[in-house]
Amino acid sequence: MSVAFAKEESAEAASETILPARPISDRINLVTEAGLRMLQDELARARQALEAANVLEDVNERRRQSAVPLRDVRYYAERVRTAQLMPVSTSNEVIAFGHTVTFARDDGRTQTFRIVGEDEANPSQASISHGSPVAIALIGKRVGDVVQLAQRELEILSIS
């Protein structure tokens, strides 16, 4: 095997392992207790995957296998570092971070979402980010209030 071929292999492997950083929002990193645990768990998983990749003998394979875990370690370490644990609200009078809100849409549908941190938001599991347009429109409102969201109206039915 020629030296040139070996260098090409290394250059190719190196280019495969340089991944762009995961984007981090410039919003304040509010988290629930469950959200903070999730971030810590993901950081631990990424560190374990990175450790496993670092014991591989083949340098090119080690680079390939460590690329994603290395990127994830950086991301989750920063998210844990900047996390601001929000206390559970003691009042259900006004919508705030951590509340579960049920609202009626002007098209007749009723929806319920919990307002959580960006990393734990999952609309398919009834949670939305505190930075989402819906959450921004709802925060600070009370039961019975009607909020305008784009061309839609939402009437707040309950807060828990």
Q: How far is CA 98 from the centre of its chain?
A: 15
Query: What's the predicted TM-score (pTM) here?
Result: 0.83
Burial label for 136, CB within 10 Å (0-12, 13-18, 19+), is middle
Residues 6+ apart with CB under 8 A from 30: 84, 86, 97, 117, 130
Query: How does pLDDT run across 148-157, given as a tens digit for each residue?
Result: 998 999 999 9
Query: How does pLDDT run across 86-118, given as a tens digit for each residue?
Result: 999 999 999 999 999 999 999 999 999 999 999
CATH 3.10.50.30 for domain 94-159: yes
Query: How does pLDDT run across 37-91, given as a tens digit for each residue?
Result: 999 999 999 999 999 999 999 999 999 999 999 999 999 999 999 999 999 999 9
Q: Which CATH architecture has domain 7-85?
A: Orthogonal Bundle (1.10)
- What residue spans define the domains of the chain? 7-85, 94-159
Burial label for 143, CB within 10 Å (0-12, 13-18, 19+), is middle
Query: How does pLDDT run across 27-39, given as a tens digit for each residue?
Result: 999 999 999 999 9
Q: Kindly state the average pLDDT of the residues 120-137.
A: 96
